[in-house]
Structure 1
Amino acid sequence: MSLPLRTVIIGAGQRGRHVYGAWALHNPNAMSIVGVVDPIDERRAAVVAEHKVVAGFGKLDDFLGSGIGADAVIIASPDREHEQAAVSCIEAGYHVLIEKPVAHTFDGVQAIAEAADRTDRVVAVAHVLRYTEFFQVLHDVVRSGRLGDLVTVTHRENVAAWHMAHSFVRGNWASAAESSPMIVAKCCHDFDILTWNLDSPIASLTSNGSLFEFKPDRSPAGATERCTSPCPVSDCPYDARRIYLDQSYSGWPVHVITDDPSHEGRMAALEQGPYGRCVYTAGSDVVDHQVVSMELESGATATLIMHGHSHEEQRTMRYDGTRATLRATFGASQVVEVIDHVTGQAESIPISSRSGGHGGGDEAMLAAFVDSVRTGHDTLATPSNALAAYELAFAAEQARLTGDRIVVREFSV
């Protein structure tokens, strides 16, 4: 039996501790956490306790200079720290898994891809959708030719309203200047799916979107600065008390706001921390809806729609070709349906029920990363094959800000 992959977690937050760290605890023969890097003492201490780790570091440089015996690192730190951490760890000779987005600028993504191309180590990107059975089935159908020539594609990222409020209004991605534009942070792996599936490159794009709802002038009458004041608005969809105080649930997003899941611990977090703020005065400056219209070199068109006002967390897709139409839903239910244009018959393609994050993508990605390190097999998502997705994401944000039509081949010149 192969020894477990000795891994250091860089960034002990939600993804680092509760996804990657948790997977290692459940798969001790595949991965062992031997170190953690995080500037917050409590976060480091939690990982040390859970994994019996002897090496905790407050700074990246302290880890890199430590000589700790490790094979790999997982970078799950804030977006703006990814480039330095990834390039440094690649150059230090570690296998590297990078949480999405790869970097907060396109130059940063390119720098990481160039560093990855110079090493013989495995460098993988956490574009977890590629690792799900759902998106692999979708890819196989689209690329099989069964739909005929693609004419138009619609891909919707429907973010649940409570998720929008949690992550992009009150949370870590509420400020583009401190993290990444929402179209990059949320949809980099949606663009990745499109570039993976489409048989023709994107030639040009335009984009429109704005912050529609989460502004002071949209605030209901009588709303208070915090939901715990208490706020008299009884029917607010974003009431933090409704989102976080349900004692029947203690997973994400509750463990993001506090390490004390008791009612008292949750209330203290809402009263004192960012997640109890009124969404209308919290100060978010990222969009809550954005549309990207793309023209392929083939003449076909594609549209990506992202918004934060859905009743449920769900991606929906439609691919219309000259011979058949594909409709698909990726959410609580997973459905891929193909309707033939000649017979009119619809075939529903079965998708196995998968537990875990992102429809099983988190777990499959981690298993694939370990396998790639052990065997040398290629990973599905690398910085190099992700470049096209990030080029589109950053070009879309530029198009939204400027109102320009962006010619993609000229964007990164």
Structure 2
Amino acid sequence: MQTVLSTDPRPSAPVRAVLVGAGHRGVLYSRYAQVAPDALAITAIVEPDPTRRERWGTEFSIPQAARYSSLTDLPDAGAVAEVAIDATMDQDHVPTAIHLLAAGYDVLLEKPIAQSAPELMALAQAQRTSGRTLMICHVLRYAPFYSEAKRRIVAGEIGEPLSIEMAEHVSYDHMSMAFVRGRWGNSEQSGSSMLLAKCCHDLDLMTWLCNAAAPARVASSGSRGMFVPERAPQGAGTRCLSDCSIEATCSYSAQRLYVDLNKWPEYIWEQAEHLSPDLDLDQKLESLRTDNRYGRCVWHADNDVLDRQTVSVEFADGVIGSFALATNTPASSRTLHVVGTTGEISGALEDGTLRVRRIRTDGAASFDEEIITTSVTNDMHGGGDHRLVADFVRVVRGEPASVSSTQLADSVNGHLLVFAAERARQQHRWVELAELQPTVDA
């Protein structure tokens, strides 16, 4: 069900949005309003941290009266906004999204959608009851690399898909920041496995690219063996800048990565932003030396998530899928290889190049080859972030969705695949997705 989103009758009136959770991802999506002010306006914010609430409330010119510390203070849709960008932490996604849907908001929800199949079912039911739009931030669907691959597959350029191979390689600095020192390193605290927190993107892509049929059964294996105390070099301490004798030559030195190279500043300095929005060198070093979680030794943190995993999938129509996660690589990358009855598509996200080969039935050559160069931007998701928000705006305005559409009904299979894969890994067996019944009929 679509409704008018503004009392302003002009077609160009921007959609009014409330930002719920002013972390890095929520702010990034909200910046679309600065790029396309005729399409989107951030008119309210819900953020419990007063420093972040005021900082981003000011950045987006939000009136003081529309800066809320709690979701319970946010009025129903129509008063200050009509849509919500829900970028809360993983364990808060379902309760906050259900609250927003019930209050009449159309919602753009950060991934993961939910942390269990029952949660996913509850959210799907809430979305059906509300009649509101719920789209998921599976931003890689909107990266030109993947959207072009999807277009070619749908057009039948490689015939019917037979198999799909995917891999994700997480760089050493990204892995150690987010999944060792960071919020997603401990599954007990975040509520998410590595496969859910990092790779639900990839399994969503697999089910989307080959979505003629749903996944039927899955097997998985994985382990944690890199960032463990047993691998700590002699002389390693508990914090890089307090008791480590090898910090100057360590690849994971917090000073080298986060001060000298200025890696991941939007995450690293969040804990110290109450001191100043622009920390000086001494403040940064003192933060890493004392209470900043990113100053901890990577071999002596509280991380428990896997650092390698494989997933094997059988789809109901016979398509075979495989996904491999490897971490601690020098650079991050994602690769894709889809084989069909008459050809294949392969490539790497980071260089934006797709190679399409088609089997020939005549001529001297055995196959034709086409090289497609897609646009690559310097964001983390191949240019998909703002394309996602733009599509969300179009959908809530009642316009047709793109082929990349991440509405809930078209997004659940990837998450069900994650939940089944984790069960398969833990129980050392193939798991039928039917075991997660009742099926989520979103």
Q: Which TM-score applies when normalising by structure 2?
A: 0.87
CA distance in 1, matches of 2:140, 2:262: 28
CA distance in 2, matches of 1:373, 1:66: 13
CA distance in 1, matches of 2:262, 2:419: 40
SS in 2 for 1:404: coil
* Identity in percent: 32
Q: What is the deviation of 1:252?
A: 4.4
The match for 2:83 is 72
Please tell me the residue identity of whatever aligns with 2:21: G
Match of 2:103 among 92, 95, 103: 92
Please tell me the residue identity of whatever aligns with 1:195: T
The match for 2:387 is 364
The match for 2:373 is 350
Match of 2:397 among 355, 374, 399: 374
Residue 405 in 1 paired to residue 430 in 2?
A: yes
The match for 1:6 is 16
The match for 1:196 is 208
CA distance in 1, matches of 2:42, 2:307: 37
Q: What is the deviation of 1:219?
A: 0.7
SS in 2 for 1:43: helix
CA distance in 2, matches of 1:146, 1:67: 45
Q: What does 1:6-405 align with in structure 2 at a 5 Å threshold?
A: 6-17=16-27, 19-53=28-62, 54=64, 55-64=66-75, 68-179=79-190, 180-198=192-210, 199-229=212-242, 231-233=244-246, 234-246=248-260, 252-254=266-268, 256=270, 258-259=272-273, 260-271=278-289, 272-331=291-350, 333-342=351-360, 343-378=366-401, 380-405=405-430
Task: Say what the alpha-carbon RMSD is for the aligned residues.
Answer: 2.2
Are the counterparts in 2 of residues 110 and 387 from structure 1 also a CA contact under 8 Å?
A: no
After the TM superposition, which of the residue ranges 386-395 and 103-112 deviates more from structure 2? 103-112
Are the counterparts in 2 of residues 357 and 363 from structure 1 also a CA contact under 8 Å?
A: no
SS in 2 for 1:306: strand
CA distance in 2, matches of 1:318, 1:65: 46
Residues 296-320 of structure 1: per-residue CA shift (max 9 Å, x gap)? 2333321111122222121101122
CA distance in 2, matches of 1:7, 1:145: 38
After the TM superposition, which of the residue ranges 20-29 and 164-173 deviates more from structure 2? 20-29
Q: What is the deviation of 1:145?
A: 2.9
Q: 1:150 to 1:23 in 2, by over 3 A?
A: closer
SS in 2 for 1:157: strand
Q: Structure 2 stretches of 5 or more lacking a match?
A: 1-9, 361-365
CA distance in 2, matches of 1:162, 1:318: 26
Q: What is the deviation of 1:242?
A: 1.9
Please tell me the residue identity of whatever aligns with 2:355: E
Q: Which TM-score applies when normalising by structure 1?
A: 0.92
CA distance in 2, matches of 1:274, 1:251: 13
CA distance in 2, matches of 1:349, 1:65: 46
Residues 240-279 of structure 1: per-residue CA shift (max 9 Å, x gap)? 2221113667854555565434323322332221011001
Aligned residues between the structures:
411
After the TM superposition, which of the residue ranges 234-243 and 54-63 deviates more from structure 2? 234-243
SS in 2 for 1:177: helix
Q: What is the deviation of 1:30?
A: 2.1
